[in-house]
Amino acid sequence: MRTAPHLTWALTPDSVAAKVRYPQMEKETVTLPRTALDHIDSLFRVARNLTGRDSDAEDLVQETYTRAIAAGAQFTAGTNLRAWLFRILRNAHIDAYRRARTNPVDGGFDDEFAADTTTMASEPLRGDAELERLRGVVTTDIEAALASLGVDARAIILLDLEGFTETELAETLGCAVGTVKSRLARARSILRERLRDYGS
Amino acid sequence: MDCTEERIHLLDRRRGTLTGELRARVASHLAECEACRREDDVDRELSLALHDRLPKRRAPEALRRSIERRLVGEPLRVSRTIRRTPMALFAAAAFVAVAAAGAIVSWRPLGADPMLAEAVNDHLRVVYSDHPVEIESGGIHQVKPWFTGRLDFAPIVAFAGDDEFPLQGGAVAYFVDRKAATFIFKRRLHVITLLVFRSEGLPWPVLAKHVLGGARGTLESSRGFQVLMWKEADLGYALVSDVPPADLQALAVKIAGGT
């Protein structure tokens, strides 16, 4: 059975593509420290949960390093390389989705949360039933529920899971440090909502 | 007291990162609010589910090596694809002889586009070989099983050949650093080479604007040959020939299952 082709690799903005088409051949442009490779597993994990497919995740990580290498001169030594790389990954993923327009995350973080602002506190009491459902969810349930979230809701949960600090999350997601906690709490709340459809 | 404001801090409280007055305030609220205690229990279960049940994936080794090479500024290492068989050596010798005679002007170094160069080189080995196929075609159902045991993947090719593009046969070759299934089609007197290989870890072009059924590919030309490359699932496809681009694209659509 043939698998549906994936499109992420075809969705890079033209301007970036023209500049970094085969950057591995441009020796002089590689100014990133070797430690950038230390983050590849983490980038791949997050990319995998953002894209939902191994091959798309590989493409997204490739694209992330491609952009990072092309923009290496803009990286300031001593600043947070991890947050910088993940910000590039997030932007590359959003660029791809905006072009594909096949995913419910088009609207990004704000649009996603605009539709879910009533999920915190004002909802009816959750209790043992939800707890039991959560205990019954399996990997595929969690991945499916994550996939139903907006890009930044998904990203903030995944990056938090990778051990990002509030400052790193703010830097990666391009928001104020003061809003990180509430964003994360809202994202987790929405994820729980989605998980109600799974487990039993 | 505003439960929403307190619940924002529950995660930090469980992680022990709340301090001072805020920690005391949240603790006090939890002591009084049953709803928030339940909320805390459920949120803790979510943390456990995320931590314990999401796979701890690692980046594939090929991807890691590819990125590592790029970070140290090394050009992509391309292993030679000449197979050490009499036929392949003959093909290589023939190619060198023709090149030296000037029929082929340049062996372009693997400069800006290593995959493009590799695809054309592989096609030239087919063209200049007296016996380009290792399995003569009695149909796709004879050619595809022949690859079993010769490759570490199963080449997916939906198109079995037709009157416009008859399938001549297949062979095993190398594409960059990996084995490739080679399918040879004809278009009138022109040879068309299809290479199928694992796609991971290769520097794929980032733009793919040519629609090939459900896939999208990149059409480029090099040394007078047209090269159409695309990916489906975990496999990469490179179609090379000197036929007009429209013919190549028509065959690609058939191969990609778009007909």
Q: How far is B191 from chain A (nearest CA, A)?
A: 26
CATH code for the part of the protein at A108-195: 1.10.10.10
What are the chain A neighbours of B56 within 8 Å (beta carbons)?
Answer: 45
Q: How far is B86 from chain A (nearest CA, A)?
A: 34
- Which of B10, B71, B216 has its CB closest to that of A30? B71
B62 located within any domain: no
Name which residue leads in pLDDT, A16 or A98. Answer: A98
- Let me know: does B61 contact B69? Beta carbons within 8 Å: no
Who's near A162: CB < 8 A, 6+ residues apart?
A: A42, A45, A46
B131 located within any domain: yes
pLDDT at residue B108 greater than cutoff 90:
no
B67 located within any domain: no
- Let me know: does B211 contact A5? Beta carbons within 8 Å: no
Q: Looking at the 3D structure of chain B, how many domains does it have?
A: 2
Q: Which residues pair with B182 in a beta bridge?
A: B171, B195
Core vs surface per residue B123-145: b (16+ CB within 10 A) or e: bbbbbbbeebbbbebeebeebbe
* Shared-domain flag, residues B152 and B225: yes
Flag whether residue B154 sits within 8 Å of chain A, measured between CB atoms: no
* Shared-domain flag, residues B37 and B94: no
pLDDT at residue B55 greater than cutoff 80:
yes
* Domain housing B84: 73-255
Question: Of A5, A7, A4, A2, whose CA–CA distance to A59 is shortest?
Answer: A7
Who's near A111: CB < 8 A, 6+ residues apart?
A: A150
* Shared-domain flag, residues B153 and B233: yes
- Fold adopted by A10-100: Rna Polymerase Sigma Factor; Chain: A (1.10.1740)
pLDDT tens per residue across span B210-238: 777 667 888 888 888 899 999 888 899 99
- Interface confidence, given as ipTM, is 0.74
pLDDT at residue A117 greater than cutoff 60:
no
Q: Which helix (H) or strand (E) holds B228?
A: strand B225-232
Flag whether residue B169 sits within 8 Å of chain A, measured between CB atoms: no
* Shared-domain flag, residues B188 and B113: yes
- pTM exceeds 0.95, yes or no: no
B66 located within any domain: no
* Shared-domain flag, residues B133 and B173: yes
Backbone conformation region of residue A12, classed left if phi is above 0, alpha if psi is from -120 to 50, else beta? beta
- Let me know: does B219 contact B210? Beta carbons within 8 Å: yes
Name the residue ranges covered by the structural domains of chain A. Answer: 10-100, 108-195
Q: Which residues pair with B222 in a beta bridge?
A: B225
* Shared-domain flag, residues B97 and B209: yes
The mean pLDDT value of chain A amounts to 74
Flag whether residue B56 sits within 8 Å of chain A, measured between CB atoms: yes
Q: Which residues pair with B198 in a beta bridge?
A: B235
B246 located within any domain: yes
